[in-house]
Amino acid sequence: MGSAGVVLCTMAFMVLCLAAMAAASAALGGGGITYIPSTASLKHCPSSCGNINISYPFGIGAGCFRQGGFELTCNQTTEHPKLYLGSSTTQITDLYDASVEVNMFFNVTLESGTNTYDISWDAPARGITIDGNQNVFFVLGCDFDADLFDSVRKPIGSCMSRCHGEVIPNQGSCNGIGCCSISLQNDISGFQATIVRVDNMAAQPYPLHHGIMAFMSYGESYYIDNMTDVLSSWTNASNIPAPVLNVAIMDLPSCESAQLHSTSYACVNNSICANASYGGYTCSCDNGFYDNGFYIYDNAYVLEGCTPQQDYYHPKPKEHCQRLCGNNTIPFPFGLEEGCFGNQRFQLNCTKEDIDECSLPNYCNGACQNTVGSYICTPCPRSKEFDSTRRKCVASSKQRNLLLGISIGTSCGLGSIFIALGTAILANKWKKNIQKRIRQGYFKKNQGLLLEQLISDESTTSKTKIFSLEELEEATNNFDATRVVGCGGHGTVYKGILSDQRVVAIKKSKIVEQIEIDQFINEVVILSQIIHRNVVKLFGCCLEDEVPLLVYEFISNGTLYELLHLDTAVKCILSWDDRIRIAAEAAGALAYLHSAASIPIFHRDVKSSNILLDGNFTAKVSDFGASRSLSLDETHVVTIVQGTFGYLDPEYYHTGQLTEKSDVYSFGVILVELLTRKKPIFINDLGAKQSLSHYFVEALHKMSVMEIIDPQVIEEADQEEINEIISLTEACLRVKGVERPIMREVDMRLQFLRTKRLRKRQRLIEKDEDFEPWLCPNAKNPREHVNLFNDAHIKPEGSSGCYSLEQEFVSSFRPR
């Protein structure tokens, strides 16, 4: 047999198994039983829920209820336990043999501009119906038309209600003024109602009629207690007579068919079977029969649940009663067998010598019961035939063939299980091989071999690595959602823990164009060559997925933007010394990129949200997704304008020429943020949005720059230091790039100012003067800190994503 034949055979076996399991599941009925239980077998079942008694066929828990719609649920988490039909929200208020009373009301809040409201109810299980003879649908409210349909949208009836202005109708019966009703024609398994407000509703000048109440109620009439409630809100639901639901056994469609299956027939002896309107049947004890004391009411569903009452008179005997004892006729109400006499006192005993007709041939070809002076012959059931030798009904040849078929099917099913297990193991192995080939294909498509060769060059750092997809899946618990620390328009960032216990950030980008893979390779090679303590480290990448994954150094303490501008539960004041230090560290990193790196790199998106703070609050420049590299003989490059408003170099914006001075301008905006503690785009006193850089330059021209400086800076810094930073900031923000300083000069001026501050601090310490240089005033040491920010949810103004670290290389997949 070929491999295709084996696969087809295996699939056939598996289908067989699934069909068998489905049949078994259906037979079990989800915990319901299909036989007649005894009172002893039900003693473990809950007998009440709150103040409602529970009797079989209803029940709570497996083995306690009849299969079908008789399963109940008791919610005991509320102050008063509540009983429900199955797992539905239909609450039961009382319980009978095969019917329940439930709450079924709907409060409708009227909304401006909405005229039509729909409500509905569906039975939670087959066999549950609303009694059409005992229940009526009522709607309370003013100025509406109501239409009622059954569960398949077949019309049942309609009604209307009107109210006359602000005049409150008199309390009384439901007559179309403030209330209307619809009678049911037949039993229904559910209903849909449409309530339409009439046009004059919108013309009412008073704030009445803002609620409508619809409900199903027992009885043909409803008495309205308080019409003020009807007009102004909703009526009290506790006054509504609970509607009655009938619950039928749905194993078989009728009593006649159910009585042919003795093992699943639900009615006990001395009971009456009645066909239900929607199919199925119900049971009830015959007149004069009562329960055995375990349940409150007659129970025709439990063994010995209908026991004859001694003093009750039976007006009609059962059929086929023996009426002769020898030559004597026995008239009713006298009788010999149970059910053949009118009362226990009329029971007779015939002592004549009896002939057992059942032992004689040709008397009865069926189930024979000998009686005094006679016998009762019952034909064999449909599934059996009469064995004249054994004088009893035995399984028919058809039944024996069925049992043989079941045995063969069971054997076949067990065999199919073993085959299915073997097939599953082989399929799993085949799936792993397919995944391996797919990953190899992605690796080649993503230029993995070229990247391995490039980053293995001596000019790159030795720690740059190409990770396997298995390593990153293990590090992120298979990219579990709980590991997500950031998101953006181009992908998601996960926190991962590598096998060497390094905590990393793993960027999983969204699908990009194939032509951008080469740009990705170029960016990875560039970043692998950067060695600077103030630049976020790229550990490596993974090329075995459809889109390359990037692995970064994980930065834990958020961004400079968050520290400057966002209100947090823990207030942390940024001192003047720390502002100068952070600015100097960021400037040093940018100066390194511009002039000290092996290939000049222009960042192109310098902003405070791209300056991260690690565990020691050391500045780390991040987000090189928009950066561009140049050859040594190039001074600028023409690109599509890219960056963040508020930081964007106006010259670059108008000409498209990216130079190192573009980063200088953006850094100047950061210096203004540190001086003023204002956002790059902020709301001014007139309520309009304004650029911080323009705001600063205007203040310079008006000679009022000291008015916008952060009061903390004025308190901690001397005027000479403030003037030095203002002068440096003004130079960085000049409109013409040629007039701005280079990044190396900015770095040197900041380092010089920082050195002066450190010397001044040393002198103050030597003189025992108070000096508070720490980032957080409550810290016990210079680097004690608190993680103030939930970086997975912060998105600062002007930011292009959720968290700068998580956006590393997002923009690298955009056109240059």
DSSP state of 243: P
Q: How far is CA 583 from CA 181, 607, 625, 806, in A?
A: 78, 11, 22, 22
Task: Output b/e per residue, 20-50; b: 16+ Cβ within 10 A.
Answer: beeeeeeeebeebbbebbebebbeebebebe
Residue 586 burial (CB < 10 Å; 0-12/13-18/19+)? buried
Phi, psi of 180 (to 5 degrees): -145, 165
Q: Nearest-CA neighbor of 57 among 339, 307, 271, 308?
A: 271
Residue located via tokens 């259906």: 26
- DSSP E strands in 633-754: the ranges are 636-638, 657-659, 681-683, 689-691
Q: How far is CA 689 from CA 425, 509, 571, 646, in A?
A: 64, 33, 26, 11
Q: Residue 360 corresponds to which tokens in the numbers above?
A: 């004689």
How many whole angstroms separate alpha carbon 70 and alpha carbon 59? Answer: 7
How many whole angstroms separate alpha carbon 80 and alpha carbon 84? Answer: 13
**Is-catalytic flag, 605?**
yes
Q: Nearest-CA neighbor of 160 among 107, 101, 200, 105?
A: 200
Residue located via tokens 């992120």: 476
- Name beta bridge partners: 601: 629
State the Rg of the chain over Cα: 44
Q: What amino acid occupies position 225?
A: D
170-176 — which CB contacts under 8 Å span 24+ positions? 170/227, 171/223, 171/224, 171/225, 171/226, 171/227, 172/223, 172/224, 173/221, 173/222, 173/223, 173/224, 174/138, 174/140, 174/221, 174/222, 174/224
Annotated binding site for ATP: 508
Q: Nearest-CA neighbor of 334 among 323, 507, 753, 75?
A: 323
Q: Nearest-CA neighbor of 85 among 131, 41, 124?
A: 124
Q: Nearest-CA neighbor of 110 among 149, 151, 147, 140?
A: 140
Annotated binding site: 508
Residue located via tokens 């310098």: 606
Task: Output b/e per residue, 344-362; b: 16+ Cβ within 10 A.
Answer: eeeeeeeeeeeeebbeeee
DSSP state of 604: S
251, 605, 663, 791: the catalytic one is 605
- Would you please indicate which residues are annotated as catalytic (active-site) residues? 605
